[in-house]
């Protein structure tokens, strides 16, 4: 979980959110944005990683068009009953490829499969277990905490979860994602007045 204060955050660099102090919001560029505030879920547990969800509030609106394809928007679930089980799932991030933790300049996207969490592994509420699709030759996820698990149906992608813990998402390493649906009320409440504008 990100513990941060207001400052500049580089949105286009892979891995951890990088923050540095800025004297004024005018120092922003398409990839470097001034953060006004960060929000950590009030029930976040550092030991179990339960409720491992946070938000970053930007000081000024972000223009996705100026990000030159390095950042894009994604749909969020509208209902707890929304079902994406028949759609193709993906994970993405700038982290490890084939076990080497070296942040890539280009976003990596691989197919993923939602699986039952192993009974021997500690599981917290609202957790989704994911392995990489067997057809993919590269391993993603290592070093990509906070990265998305999303479902795609045609031209629309919907956020399903956020990478919370694990040692990758290969067949031998189950990655744990926080299911985003139960947190949508909290996200909307803490995104006001900007959410939906």
Is 136 in the same domain as 175? yes
The per-residue pLDDT for range 102-128, each reduced to its tens digit, is 666 677 788 888 888 776 666 778 888
Is residue 111 in some structural domain?
A: yes
pTM: 0.73
Is residue 81 in some structural domain?
A: no
Is 117 in the same domain as 169? yes
Containing domain of residue 26, as a range? 7-71+183-191
Residue 52: CATH number of its domain = 2.40.10
Number of domains comprising the chain: 2
Is 94 in the same domain as 160? yes
Write out the chain in H/E/C secondary structure: CCCCCCEEEECCCCCCCEEECCCCHHHCCCCEEEEEEEEECCCCCCCCCCCCCEEEEECCCCCHHHHCCCCCCCECCCCCCCCCCCCEEEEEECCCECCECCCCCCCEEEEEEEECCCCCCCCCCCEEEEEECCCCCCCCCCCCCCCEEEEEECCEEEEEEEEEECCCCCCCCCEEEEECHHHHHHHHHHHCCCCCC
Is 100 in the same domain as 54? no
The per-residue pLDDT for range 2-56, each reduced to its tens digit, is 444 444 455 544 433 444 444 444 455 656 677 788 889 999 998 888 898 988 8
């Amino acid at each position: 979980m990100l513990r941060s204060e207001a400052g500049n955050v580089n949105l286009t660099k892979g891995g951890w959110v990088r923050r540095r102090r800025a004297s004024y919001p005018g120092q922003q560029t398409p990839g470097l944005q001034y953060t006004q505030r960060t929000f950590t879920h009030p029930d976040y547990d550092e030991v179990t990683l339960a409720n491992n969800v946070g938000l970053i509030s930007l000081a000024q609106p972000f223009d996705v068009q100026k990000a030159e394809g390095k950042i894009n928007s994604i749909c969020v679930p509208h209902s707890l009953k929304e079902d994406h089980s028949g759609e193709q799932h993906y994970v993405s991030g700038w982290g490890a490829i084939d076990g080497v933790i070296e942040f890539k300049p280009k976003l990596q996207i691989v197919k993923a499969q939602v699986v039952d969490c192993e009974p021997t592994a500690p599981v917290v509420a609202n957790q989704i277990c994911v392995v990489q699709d067997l057809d993919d030759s590269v391993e993603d996820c290592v070093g990509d905490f906070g990265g998305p698990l999303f479902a795609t149906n045609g031209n629309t992608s919907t956020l399903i979860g956020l990478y919370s813990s694990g040692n990758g998402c290969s067949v031998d390493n189950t990655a744990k994602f926080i299911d985003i649906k139960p947190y949508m009320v909290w996200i909307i409440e803490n995104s006001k007045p900007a959410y939906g504008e």
